[in-house]
Chains A and B, each alone.
Chain A
Amino acid sequence: MSRSVDPRIDAIERRLVSHTTCDVPSGHRDRVLAAVRDVLAEDLETIVPSDSEIGLKGASALLAIALSTALIIVVPWSFLGRPLLPVPTESTLMARARSAGIDLPVETVATTDHSVHQPRQTPSPMPAHDAIRWRHLIIGDL
Protein backbone atom coordinates (compact mmCIF):
# COMPACT_ATOMS: atom_id res chain seq x y z
CA MET A 1 0.00 0.00 0.00
CA SER A 2 1.37 3.33 -1.03
CA ARG A 3 1.65 6.14 1.41
CA SER A 4 -0.02 9.44 0.59
CA VAL A 5 0.38 12.88 2.15
CA ASP A 6 -3.40 13.15 2.31
CA PRO A 7 -4.73 11.24 5.33
CA ARG A 8 -8.18 10.97 3.75
CA ILE A 9 -6.74 9.15 0.75
CA ASP A 10 -4.85 6.86 3.07
CA ALA A 11 -8.09 6.14 4.89
CA ILE A 12 -9.88 5.30 1.66
CA GLU A 13 -7.07 3.00 0.66
CA ARG A 14 -7.21 1.26 4.00
CA ARG A 15 -10.95 0.81 3.69
CA LEU A 16 -10.53 -0.74 0.26
CA VAL A 17 -7.78 -3.06 1.42
CA SER A 18 -9.67 -4.08 4.54
CA HIS A 19 -12.50 -5.42 2.40
CA THR A 20 -10.41 -7.51 0.07
CA THR A 21 -10.63 -10.75 1.98
CA CYS A 22 -10.57 -13.54 -0.54
CA ASP A 23 -13.78 -15.50 -0.35
CA VAL A 24 -14.02 -18.05 -3.10
CA PRO A 25 -17.66 -19.03 -3.59
CA SER A 26 -18.47 -22.63 -2.82
CA GLY A 27 -18.63 -24.80 -5.90
CA HIS A 28 -16.72 -22.35 -8.06
CA ARG A 29 -13.49 -24.32 -7.82
CA ASP A 30 -15.18 -27.55 -8.90
CA ARG A 31 -16.97 -25.81 -11.75
CA VAL A 32 -13.81 -24.15 -13.06
CA LEU A 33 -11.66 -27.26 -12.81
CA ALA A 34 -14.35 -29.38 -14.46
CA ALA A 35 -14.42 -26.94 -17.37
CA VAL A 36 -10.62 -27.10 -17.57
CA ARG A 37 -10.68 -30.90 -17.60
CA ASP A 38 -13.25 -30.83 -20.40
CA VAL A 39 -10.96 -28.63 -22.49
CA LEU A 40 -7.96 -30.85 -21.83
CA ALA A 41 -9.95 -33.96 -22.73
CA GLU A 42 -11.24 -32.38 -25.94
CA ASP A 43 -7.71 -31.45 -26.97
CA LEU A 44 -6.43 -34.95 -26.26
CA GLU A 45 -9.16 -36.42 -28.45
CA THR A 46 -8.21 -34.02 -31.20
CA ILE A 47 -4.48 -34.63 -30.95
CA VAL A 48 -4.57 -38.44 -30.57
CA PRO A 49 -7.08 -39.93 -33.02
CA SER A 50 -8.57 -43.34 -32.41
CA ASP A 51 -7.40 -46.51 -34.18
CA SER A 52 -10.31 -46.47 -36.60
CA GLU A 53 -9.50 -42.91 -37.59
CA ILE A 54 -5.89 -43.83 -38.17
CA GLY A 55 -6.99 -46.79 -40.28
CA LEU A 56 -9.30 -44.70 -42.37
CA LYS A 57 -6.74 -41.99 -42.90
CA GLY A 58 -4.03 -44.55 -43.59
CA ALA A 59 -6.14 -46.30 -46.16
CA SER A 60 -6.91 -43.02 -47.87
CA ALA A 61 -3.23 -42.13 -47.92
CA LEU A 62 -2.25 -45.51 -49.33
CA LEU A 63 -4.89 -45.24 -52.03
CA ALA A 64 -3.66 -41.78 -52.96
CA ILE A 65 -0.07 -43.05 -53.13
CA ALA A 66 -1.10 -45.99 -55.27
CA LEU A 67 -3.01 -43.81 -57.71
CA SER A 68 -0.17 -41.33 -57.90
CA THR A 69 2.32 -44.10 -58.54
CA ALA A 70 0.13 -45.52 -61.28
CA LEU A 71 -0.28 -42.18 -62.98
CA ILE A 72 3.29 -41.01 -62.67
CA ILE A 73 5.32 -44.20 -63.14
CA VAL A 74 3.36 -47.14 -64.42
CA VAL A 75 1.30 -45.50 -67.14
CA PRO A 76 4.16 -43.65 -68.88
CA TRP A 77 6.46 -46.67 -68.71
CA SER A 78 3.78 -48.93 -70.10
CA PHE A 79 3.48 -46.67 -73.13
CA LEU A 80 7.24 -46.46 -73.53
CA GLY A 81 7.71 -50.16 -73.06
CA ARG A 82 5.01 -51.32 -75.46
CA PRO A 83 7.07 -51.33 -78.72
CA LEU A 84 9.89 -53.17 -76.98
CA LEU A 85 7.78 -56.00 -75.66
CA PRO A 86 7.05 -59.04 -77.85
CA VAL A 87 3.50 -58.97 -79.06
CA PRO A 88 1.78 -62.32 -78.81
CA THR A 89 0.24 -62.66 -82.22
CA GLU A 90 -0.22 -66.41 -82.35
CA SER A 91 -3.72 -67.52 -81.59
CA THR A 92 -4.57 -70.66 -79.71
CA LEU A 93 -5.86 -72.27 -82.87
CA MET A 94 -2.64 -71.63 -84.71
CA ALA A 95 -0.60 -72.97 -81.84
CA ARG A 96 -2.63 -76.13 -81.83
CA ALA A 97 -2.14 -76.41 -85.61
CA ARG A 98 1.56 -75.96 -85.31
CA SER A 99 1.81 -78.56 -82.54
CA ALA A 100 -0.11 -80.95 -84.78
CA GLY A 101 2.61 -80.53 -87.43
CA ILE A 102 0.62 -78.38 -89.82
CA ASP A 103 2.66 -75.92 -91.75
CA LEU A 104 0.51 -72.85 -91.71
CA PRO A 105 0.53 -70.62 -94.72
CA VAL A 106 0.92 -67.49 -92.61
CA GLU A 107 3.87 -66.18 -90.67
CA THR A 108 3.64 -66.35 -86.89
CA VAL A 109 6.65 -64.39 -85.94
CA ALA A 110 6.30 -63.50 -82.29
CA THR A 111 7.40 -59.90 -82.62
CA THR A 112 5.37 -58.99 -85.64
CA ASP A 113 2.90 -56.21 -85.33
CA HIS A 114 0.58 -57.79 -87.83
CA SER A 115 -2.62 -59.09 -86.37
CA VAL A 116 -3.26 -62.77 -86.94
CA HIS A 117 -6.94 -62.02 -87.16
CA GLN A 118 -6.46 -60.09 -90.35
CA PRO A 119 -5.91 -62.15 -93.50
CA ARG A 120 -2.86 -61.40 -95.51
CA GLN A 121 -3.32 -59.91 -98.87
CA THR A 122 -1.15 -62.56 -100.59
CA PRO A 123 -1.52 -65.87 -98.81
CA SER A 124 0.81 -68.63 -99.83
CA PRO A 125 -0.82 -71.75 -101.33
CA MET A 126 -1.59 -74.58 -98.87
CA PRO A 127 -0.78 -78.18 -99.76
CA ALA A 128 -3.85 -80.45 -100.08
CA HIS A 129 -3.01 -82.77 -97.21
CA ASP A 130 -2.45 -79.85 -94.95
CA ALA A 131 -5.80 -78.44 -95.98
CA ILE A 132 -7.55 -81.67 -94.94
CA ARG A 133 -5.83 -81.79 -91.59
CA TRP A 134 -6.50 -78.13 -91.13
CA ARG A 135 -10.22 -78.67 -91.76
CA HIS A 136 -10.28 -81.55 -89.32
CA LEU A 137 -8.62 -79.45 -86.74
CA ILE A 138 -11.18 -76.72 -87.12
CA ILE A 139 -14.47 -78.55 -87.41
CA GLY A 140 -13.53 -82.05 -86.17
CA ASP A 141 -14.99 -83.76 -89.21
CA LEU A 142 -12.53 -86.24 -90.59
Chain B
Amino acid sequence: MVEVTLTESLAAGDPEAFAALYDRLAGRLLGAARTMTGSAEDAQDVVQEVFVELARMRTRLTGILDLEAYMFAMLRNAVRRRGRRTAVDRRAVLALAQMHRATGAWSEAPRLPDDELAAAVARLPSTQRDVLALKIDGGLTFAEIAVVMETSLHTAASRYRYALERLRAALGGRKEKS
Protein backbone atom coordinates (compact mmCIF):
# COMPACT_ATOMS: atom_id res chain seq x y z
CA MET B 1 0.00 0.00 0.00
CA VAL B 2 2.90 2.31 0.85
CA GLU B 3 4.48 1.50 -2.51
CA VAL B 4 1.25 2.35 -4.32
CA THR B 5 0.93 5.61 -2.43
CA LEU B 6 4.50 6.58 -3.25
CA THR B 7 4.01 5.72 -6.90
CA GLU B 8 0.82 7.77 -7.02
CA SER B 9 2.55 10.70 -5.35
CA LEU B 10 5.37 10.49 -7.88
CA ALA B 11 2.88 10.36 -10.71
CA ALA B 12 1.18 13.45 -9.29
CA GLY B 13 4.50 15.31 -9.33
CA ASP B 14 4.93 15.66 -5.58
CA PRO B 15 8.54 16.80 -4.91
CA GLU B 16 8.46 15.20 -1.46
CA ALA B 17 7.79 11.83 -3.06
CA PHE B 18 10.90 12.20 -5.20
CA ALA B 19 12.91 13.09 -2.11
CA ALA B 20 11.57 10.02 -0.29
CA LEU B 21 12.45 7.81 -3.24
CA TYR B 22 15.94 9.27 -3.38
CA ASP B 23 16.48 8.65 0.33
CA ARG B 24 15.32 5.09 -0.08
CA LEU B 25 17.23 4.09 -3.22
CA ALA B 26 20.06 6.53 -3.90
CA GLY B 27 22.77 4.52 -2.14
CA ARG B 28 21.93 1.30 -3.91
CA LEU B 29 21.44 3.01 -7.26
CA LEU B 30 24.77 4.79 -6.93
CA GLY B 31 26.51 1.57 -5.98
CA ALA B 32 25.04 -0.34 -8.90
CA ALA B 33 25.77 2.49 -11.30
CA ARG B 34 29.35 2.66 -10.05
CA THR B 35 29.85 -1.03 -10.66
CA MET B 36 28.23 -0.80 -14.09
CA THR B 37 30.17 2.24 -15.24
CA GLY B 38 33.34 1.82 -13.21
CA SER B 39 33.23 5.48 -12.29
CA ALA B 40 31.87 7.24 -9.22
CA GLU B 41 31.40 10.46 -11.16
CA ASP B 42 29.54 8.76 -13.98
CA ALA B 43 27.42 6.94 -11.41
CA GLN B 44 26.33 10.24 -9.87
CA ASP B 45 25.42 11.65 -13.26
CA VAL B 46 23.53 8.52 -14.25
CA VAL B 47 21.48 8.47 -11.05
CA GLN B 48 20.61 12.13 -11.53
CA GLU B 49 19.61 11.36 -15.10
CA VAL B 50 17.34 8.57 -13.86
CA PHE B 51 15.52 10.86 -11.43
CA VAL B 52 15.12 13.59 -14.02
CA GLU B 53 13.77 11.06 -16.50
CA LEU B 54 11.42 9.73 -13.85
CA ALA B 55 10.09 13.24 -13.26
CA ARG B 56 9.56 13.75 -16.99
CA MET B 57 7.56 10.58 -17.52
CA ARG B 58 5.95 10.42 -14.09
CA THR B 59 2.41 10.15 -15.45
CA ARG B 60 3.26 6.70 -16.78
CA LEU B 61 4.05 5.43 -13.29
CA THR B 62 0.48 4.68 -12.27
CA GLY B 63 0.62 1.12 -13.57
CA ILE B 64 4.00 0.27 -12.06
CA LEU B 65 3.84 -2.37 -9.33
CA ASP B 66 7.53 -2.92 -8.53
CA LEU B 67 8.95 0.57 -8.31
CA GLU B 68 12.43 -0.56 -7.24
CA ALA B 69 12.84 -2.94 -10.16
CA TYR B 70 11.56 -0.18 -12.43
CA MET B 71 14.15 2.25 -11.10
CA PHE B 72 16.99 -0.21 -11.61
CA ALA B 73 15.76 -0.91 -15.13
CA MET B 74 15.85 2.83 -15.80
CA LEU B 75 19.33 2.93 -14.30
CA ARG B 76 20.58 0.17 -16.57
CA ASN B 77 19.11 1.87 -19.62
CA ALA B 78 20.70 5.16 -18.59
CA VAL B 79 24.08 3.46 -18.20
CA ARG B 80 23.74 1.93 -21.64
CA ARG B 81 22.81 5.28 -23.19
CA ARG B 82 25.71 6.91 -21.45
CA GLY B 83 28.03 4.17 -22.59
CA ARG B 84 26.97 4.73 -26.16
CA ARG B 85 27.33 8.47 -25.86
CA THR B 86 30.73 8.56 -24.32
CA ALA B 87 32.05 5.29 -25.75
CA VAL B 88 33.86 4.61 -22.51
CA ASP B 89 35.44 1.19 -22.67
CA ARG B 90 36.80 -0.87 -19.86
CA ARG B 91 40.37 0.17 -20.46
CA ALA B 92 39.40 3.78 -19.95
CA VAL B 93 37.63 2.86 -16.74
CA LEU B 94 40.73 1.12 -15.46
CA ALA B 95 42.91 4.02 -16.49
CA LEU B 96 40.58 6.32 -14.53
CA ALA B 97 40.85 4.08 -11.48
CA GLN B 98 44.63 4.09 -11.70
CA MET B 99 44.66 7.85 -12.07
CA HIS B 100 42.52 8.22 -8.97
CA ARG B 101 44.85 5.96 -7.06
CA ALA B 102 47.89 7.92 -8.25
CA THR B 103 46.37 11.19 -7.10
CA GLY B 104 45.15 9.72 -3.86
CA ALA B 105 41.55 10.61 -4.64
CA TRP B 106 40.19 7.31 -3.46
CA SER B 107 36.94 8.79 -2.29
CA GLU B 108 36.02 9.27 -5.96
CA ALA B 109 37.52 6.00 -7.15
CA PRO B 110 35.46 2.90 -7.90
CA ARG B 111 34.05 1.57 -4.68
CA LEU B 112 35.27 -1.96 -5.18
CA PRO B 113 37.59 -3.64 -2.65
CA ASP B 114 40.84 -3.25 -4.51
CA ASP B 115 42.33 -2.61 -7.90
CA GLU B 116 42.64 -6.27 -8.74
CA LEU B 117 39.02 -7.07 -8.05
CA ALA B 118 37.88 -3.79 -9.65
CA ALA B 119 39.82 -4.64 -12.78
CA ALA B 120 38.33 -8.11 -12.84
CA VAL B 121 34.80 -6.73 -12.50
CA ALA B 122 35.45 -4.18 -15.23
CA ARG B 123 36.56 -6.95 -17.57
CA LEU B 124 33.34 -8.91 -17.13
CA PRO B 125 30.88 -8.99 -20.02
CA SER B 126 28.40 -6.17 -19.54
CA THR B 127 25.46 -8.50 -18.87
CA GLN B 128 27.37 -10.29 -16.10
CA ARG B 129 28.65 -7.02 -14.67
CA ASP B 130 25.11 -5.66 -14.64
CA VAL B 131 23.79 -8.72 -12.82
CA LEU B 132 26.56 -8.35 -10.29
CA ALA B 133 25.75 -4.68 -9.80
CA LEU B 134 22.03 -5.32 -9.42
CA LYS B 135 22.57 -8.21 -7.00
CA ILE B 136 25.45 -6.94 -4.90
CA ASP B 137 24.93 -3.16 -5.01
CA GLY B 138 21.23 -3.00 -5.82
CA GLY B 139 20.22 -5.75 -3.45
CA LEU B 140 17.67 -7.07 -5.92
CA THR B 141 16.44 -10.64 -5.98
CA PHE B 142 17.07 -12.76 -9.06
CA ALA B 143 13.39 -12.44 -9.88
CA GLU B 144 13.72 -8.65 -9.86
CA ILE B 145 16.96 -8.79 -11.84
CA ALA B 146 15.21 -10.95 -14.41
CA VAL B 147 12.54 -8.25 -14.77
CA VAL B 148 15.12 -5.47 -15.00
CA MET B 149 17.19 -7.29 -17.61
CA GLU B 150 14.16 -8.67 -19.44
CA THR B 151 15.35 -12.22 -19.14
CA SER B 152 14.42 -15.36 -17.24
CA LEU B 153 15.13 -15.90 -13.58
CA HIS B 154 17.33 -18.86 -14.48
CA THR B 155 19.40 -16.75 -16.90
CA ALA B 156 19.82 -14.00 -14.32
CA ALA B 157 21.05 -16.48 -11.72
CA SER B 158 23.35 -18.16 -14.24
CA ARG B 159 24.91 -14.88 -15.26
CA TYR B 160 25.58 -14.07 -11.63
CA ARG B 161 27.23 -17.45 -11.09
CA TYR B 162 29.31 -17.07 -14.27
CA ALA B 163 30.38 -13.61 -13.14
CA LEU B 164 31.64 -14.95 -9.83
CA GLU B 165 33.44 -17.80 -11.55
CA ARG B 166 35.11 -15.39 -13.93
CA LEU B 167 36.21 -13.25 -11.03
CA ARG B 168 37.64 -16.26 -9.30
CA ALA B 169 39.49 -17.23 -12.48
CA ALA B 170 40.72 -13.67 -12.94
CA LEU B 171 42.04 -13.51 -9.41
CA GLY B 172 43.89 -16.76 -10.16
CA GLY B 173 45.89 -18.28 -7.42
CA ARG B 174 45.34 -15.45 -5.03
CA LYS B 175 44.24 -16.83 -1.73
CA GLU B 176 40.86 -15.51 -0.66
CA LYS B 177 40.13 -14.83 2.93
CA SER B 178 37.24 -16.95 4.00
Contacts and interface: CB of A to CB of B under 8 A. Distances in A.
Interface of A: 2, 4, 6-13, 15-20, 22-25, 28-29, 31-33, 35-37, 39-40, 43-44
A32 B51 contact: yes
10 A-B pairs closest in CB distance:
A22-B27, A11-B176, A39-B55, A36-B55, A19-B113, A9-B164, A36-B18, A32-B48, A16-B136, A32-B51
A23 to B, nearest CB: 7
Interface string B156-178: 01001100110110010000111
B24 to A, nearest CB: 11
Interface residues of B, number: 38
Interface string B15-31: 10011001100111011
Mostly, the A contact residues are helix
A16 B113 contact: yes
A6 B119 CA distance: 22
Interface of B: 13, 15, 18-19, 22-23, 26-28, 30-31, 40, 44, 47-48, 51-52, 54-56, 111-113, 117, 132, 136-137, 157, 160-161, 164-165, 167-168, 171, 176-178
A18 B113 contact: yes
Contacts of A2: 157, 160-161
Nearest to A12: B167
A28 B177 CA distance: 35
Contact of A15 (B15, B23, B55, B113): B113
B27 A23 contact: yes
Given A15-B113, A40-B13, A35 B137 contact: no
Contacts of B132: 16
B168 A6 contact: yes
A36 B15 contact: yes
Contacts of B165: 6, 9
A14 to B, nearest CB: 8
A31 B27 CA distance: 15
Given A2-B160, A12-B171, A25 B44 contact: yes
A19 B132 CA distance: 13
A4 B51 contact: no
Contacts of B44: 25, 28
Nearest to A28: B44
Contact of A4 (B23, B55, B56, B161): B161
A28 B140 CA distance: 23
B83 to A, nearest CB: 21
